[in-house]
Amino acid sequence: MKAENPALYAATGTAGMLCVRCIRGYPKVPSNHAFGAAIDLKMNGQLVPLNAPWAQKGTLDLYHYFHAEGWYWGADWDRPDSMHFEVSDEKMRIWGALGMI
């Protein structure tokens, strides 16, 4: 991404990846952030709030990079979270089989 789209790379920031906690609103269910398997992204320093019915264009552009690497995007969930990306179960299994986790 840095080579293909330097402006997108420069605009992208993180609001956190490893954060040991439960899913917001579900006090007994660990978040994938608790395992470093999810990341929240901001564009130009701005976050999209949970449940917002929109996404930033930059995050939409990032989707293609994350999807190609086996991550999925929280934008289309029942409780939209367009700043949130998570590693897919399939990708976690591949990493496990390769001894990467």
Residue 41 in contact with residue 13, Cβ under 8 Å? yes
Sequential pLDDT tens for the chain (101 residues) = 999 999 999 999 998 888 888 888 889 999 888 888 999 999 999 999 989 999 999 999 999 999 999 999 999 889 899 999 999 999 999 999 999 98
Q: Minimal CA–CA distance to 11: which of 61, 54, 55?
A: 61
CA-CA distances (angstroms) from residue 41 to 38, 76, 95?
10, 16, 23
Q: What is the 3-state secondary structure (H, E, C) of 14-61?
A: EEECCCCCEECCEEEEECHHHHCCEEEEEECCECCCCCCCCCCHHHHH
The token duo for 11 is: 């605009």
- The CA-based diameter of the chain, rounded to the nearest angstrom, is 41
- pTM for the whole thing? 0.86
